[in-house]
Structure 1
Amino acid sequence: MSGGLWMPAGARSDTLPTIPRQRTPSWAEPDPVDELAARLDDFVAAAVHPDEIAALLESDGLSDDQIRERYGVKNSFALAEVLYDRVPRRYPEPRDPAPDPWRTSLLGCLLRGVVFALPGFGYVLGAPLLAGPRGDFGLPAGTVPLLAAALFGWTWNQGLSHRAYTWLGLADKPAARRTLLLGAPTGALLGTLTALACAGTATPAAVLFAAGQSCYLAAATALLVLSRERALLAALIPLTAGALLALVHPIPETARIVLLAGSLLAVAALALRELVGGTPPARASAPAPTVSTTPGNVALAASLPYALFGLGSGALVVYAALGDVLAGAEPSAMAAPAAVALTLSMGPAEWLLYRFRSGSLAGLRSAGTPRAFRRGTVHRLAGCLAAYLTALAALATATAALWPHTPTLDGVRLAGLLLLGVVIWTGLLLQSFGAVAGAALVCVLAALAQTLALLTHTGAPHTVGVAVYGAAAVAQSALVGVLIGRATTHR
């Protein structure tokens, strides 16, 4: 405690200056800075850095001209410095626990990771539909439209998700549903057209499979944004069971098609019911919304960086999945261990990201100085990233051991996968802070570098991957380091 009950009023045990401050005579006008300090006492006393006080002053609408006229300093930052120096630091414990929007359950995150991974069994059932002669890059012809449609779907649906989540953040769930109801079918149609444009020598069955993939991505995006993971999981159970049976015993092609079509129809029906039938009827007694629900409130351009991040990160994952095939392995090896491990790791990644953000909020309340807060945040970041990479390595090792026809997970492959894990996790962290533009730029440039290396036949795919992922990991880690060191970032 700063001062005990036995001390005279106003005395402080360790904060008195060497030279006592000159007291204002009773007949003089009160100091406006003292009045402001008294009014903002609790907030200023708990501030970790003057920038927090400056942000509060600006949010109150104080302009620099007003600050110069009223308080005699040049701007909000100078006034924040004065207030920070004038009010002693203290961090009173709140009566009730402070709200923590980043607290989440591990089970829920793991469930989402499983839901992300289960659609991969669709490729096991659809493998005969994708068979065909190898093309220019050593890929079966049927995989080209599939990958093109997947990249488009990841790009479109990442931007669509951001737009829908923005409406949800504005407490306008009907607007989020309308956004998904319009955007999801449009994305499915454009993804199908992308597959047709890239069909080349692929069979009609392969193009139809790619179209089905586009429809699934659109419907699943709507369900995930609206937190319907359990319904999506239930719809994927028959497909998963059929794929597991196909791994140990051949099943007829008709059964494969029925399982694929049935799961797709089930997911699409669930999404349609949620988007059309899930909107509650308007009630006259409902309170008026705090924001206008016109589409102009959510700028389309704001979703573009998120879409580009989906494109760049998706392309990097595709290159990781195709590394062995591009190096001459059998096409059956292209899904493991990298892509499967990365997909399964999204559950632990999400939970650790939430854990880091939650811990940072706690650090704001407990750290006494900006340096202490910065040091604690860096340690917390290193711990969460290390935990994620450990989980990713374990999943990759298990996948490589269980997946048939998979090359050995040697040091180069594992290093590339872990560096890619750093890129993905730090990119998601930057996205959670709204600083997705830097992550999108890094990922897109890295994907372009790998594409250029492939087109010019520069180096072995895995060696190129280690170099590209390493450079991207360093760049994004630097962006994260700059961002998380500021206390105002975590408010």
Structure 2
Amino acid sequence: MSGSLWLKRPTTDTPMPMIPRPRRETAPGAPGAGPGPGPGHDTRIPDALADDPLDELAERIGALAAVAVHPDEIAAILESDGMTDDHIRLTYGRADSFELAEDLYARVERRHPAPQAPPGGAWPAGLAGCLLRGLVFALPGLAYVLAAPLLAGEQGRFGLPGGTVPLLAGAVTGWVWNQALAHRAYTWLGLGDRPAAARALLLGAPAGALAGTAVALAAAAPGETPAALFAAGQSVYLAAATVLLVLGRERALLCALMPLAGAVPAFRWDLPDLLRAALLLTALTASVAFAGLVLRPGARRGAAGRGGPPRAASLPYGLFGLGSGLLVLHAGVGDTLVGGAGAVIALTLSMGPAEWLLHRFRGESLTRLRTLATAREFRRAVTGTLVLCLGGYLGVLVALTLAVTLAWPGAPWSTLPRLVTLLLIGTVLWLGLLLQAFGAVLSAAAVCLLAAAAQTLEPAAGPVAAGGAAAVLAVLTCVLLVRPTAHRL
């Protein structure tokens, strides 16, 4: 999972309309005034017949009102310009900004600009990049295949294989820390300050590696030292991978992970322990080296730039990483460490197409925003796009699950009930990522954490918890994202 859906706000500011002033009246006897009226008449005579102030306002903000798909958008423009309800009642004779916005919406003709055609090959190139990210998300799973004989030991705790607890503890700690760190770095990138983003990663990535290592060592029981050491290397890798993914170095990360392809023969033949350890250490060393190279701009003095975004703003993203990570772990629990990794591999591989479909949903929604004239049409179009994108993602997840099932015939998670649970978890992840991309990360994190807590307390309730979470996120998505204002940049 990544935060690549950050979209910058427009760099040009649209000038807001000036509030029209009432026309001045001319007193009798003043230069240019006509003869005074007779007795009993009003002594004030307007110098000219004033135009309707609403016409003048419609002319001033016509360019903005013409592209609005709902009166609420015009009301937001009026309020941002400082128009109070008292001013609107005195000047325009309407009760408030919403009534004035409805009149303007009805008076101004819709003039949506034609959507710009995407550059040639934009979607295929975007798809290739997202598939690459999905591949580098899944390749680290081969490290568990290589390390399985090295970690083999006595039966572990909680009915899990030996060494699983420190591995999971270190992994979850890394997910939480690195999700929050990635958000902070992406925020710096959104501000156009790449050296400051590198500086944030330079300070945060080693701290995350130390935190994951400390938690894994603390969770290790006697006899689980090899697993704790592997978890320490896993924490270091997660920190390096976060740096490379945030800074757009997916190809470098792919090159660093290539030694893990040596795990493929391990599915059929027994490899020497020395070779297994060498492949793991080579991939880890290459990942750290590449991360160090791309962090050089952050090492310069003064690279931190301004004060930066508040650190508390990154906390919900860490909580979302915790909840989604726990759900993925529950999906991958099997009778063996390797067997249980099959579902995780299917989910992680699907994150590449999922990311592309998230981009596709955003692009289609923005196109509809420019071409449709009413809020009802927009809601209908966005709902259809949402159903198609979610359905496409679940179709990809089913195909990947079947492919991995062929590689692991008879895996404990390949039964129909577990497949249904896997699809429900996939729905939760995709909708959660979609809400996160539109700023509703706290709601997505809360739902994922509740579902993960329910599965942890009662593993048999996994399908119910995942189904409930998917239903809640679907309702939240339909409520939030069918509004035109949610798609304004």
Normalising by structure 2, we get a TM-score of: 0.85
Does residue 84 (structure 1) correspond to residue 96 (structure 2)? The answer is no
- Select which of 453, 458, 466 maps to 1:448: 453
How far the C-alpha of 1:426 sits from its partner, in A, is 0.3
For 1:479, give the aligned amino acid. L
Cα distance change, pair 187–75 in 1 and its aligned pair in 2 (3 A): farther
* Superimposed CA distance per residue, residues 326-373 of structure 1 (whole angstroms, 9 cap, x where no aligned partner): xxx34431111x211100000110111110110000111121211111
Q: Where does 1:217-236 land on structure 2 (aligned, <5 Å)?
A: 217-236=238-257
Q: Where does 1:43-442 land on structure 2 (aligned, <5 Å)?
A: 43-64=64-85, 67-68=88-89, 70-93=91-114, 105-240=126-261, 242-277=262-297, 293-295=305-307, 297-322=308-333, 325=334, 329-336=335-342, 338-403=343-408, 406-407=411-412, 409-442=414-447
Q: Where does 1:450-489 land on structure 2 (aligned, <5 Å)?
A: 450-454=455-459, 459=460, 464-489=461-486
For 1:214, give the aligned amino acid. S
* Superimposed CA distance per residue, residues 187-206 of structure 1 (whole angstroms, 9 cap, x where no aligned partner): 00000000011012343221
Measure, in 2, the Cα distance between the counterparts of 1:201 and 1:30.
Answer: 87
Instruction: Give the conservation status (yes or no) of the 8 Å contact 1:330–1:405.
Output: no
For 1:211, give the aligned amino acid. A
How far the C-alpha of 1:404 sits from its partner, in A, is 5.7
Unaligned runs of 5+ in 1: 1-24, 283-288
Local SS of the residue matching 1:227: coil
Q: Could you tell me which residue of structure 2 aligns to residue 4 of structure 1?
A: none
Measure, in 1, the Cα distance between the counterparts of 2:310 and 2:86.
Answer: 31
Instruction: Give the conservation status (yes or no) of the 8 Å contact 1:239–1:263.
Output: yes
How far the C-alpha of 1:85 sits from its partner, in A, is 1.9
Measure, in 1, the Cα distance between the counterparts of 2:451 and 2:365.
Answer: 30
Local SS of the residue matching 1:345: helix
* Superimposed CA distance per residue, residues 273-315 of structure 1 (whole angstroms, 9 cap, x where no aligned partner): 1112577899xxxxxx9xx9423x4011111111100000000
Measure, in 2, the Cα distance between the counterparts of 1:232 and 1:446.
Answer: 32
* Superimposed CA distance per residue, residues 159-207 of structure 1 (whole angstroms, 9 cap, x where no aligned partner): 1111110110011111111110011000000000000110123432211
Measure, in 2, the Cα distance between the counterparts of 1:369 and 1:351.
Answer: 28
Measure, in 2, the Cα distance between the counterparts of 1:203 and 1:330.
Answer: 16
Instruction: Give the conservation status (yes or no) of the 8 Å contact 1:149–1:195.
Output: yes
**Higher Rg:** 2
Measure, in 2, the Cα distance between the counterparts of 1:152 and 1:79.
Answer: 52
Instruction: Give the conservation status (yes or no) of the 8 Å contact 2:332–2:341.
Output: yes
For 1:268, give the aligned amino acid. V
Unaligned runs of 5+ in 2: 1-45
Cα distance change, pair 280–93 in 1 and its aligned pair in 2 (3 A): farther
Measure, in 1, the Cα distance between the counterparts of 2:177 and 2:84.
Answer: 40
Q: Could you tell me which residue of structure 1 aligns to residue 20 of structure 2?
A: none
Local SS of the residue matching 2:160: coil
Instruction: Give the conservation status (yes or no) of the 8 Å contact 2:145–2:338.
Output: no
Cα distance change, pair 196–70 in 1 and its aligned pair in 2 (3 A): farther
Local SS of the residue matching 2:183: helix
Cα distance change, pair 277–253 in 1 and its aligned pair in 2 (3 A): farther
How far the C-alpha of 1:408 sits from its partner, in A, is 6.5
Q: Percent identity?
A: 56
Normalising by structure 1, we get a TM-score of: 0.85
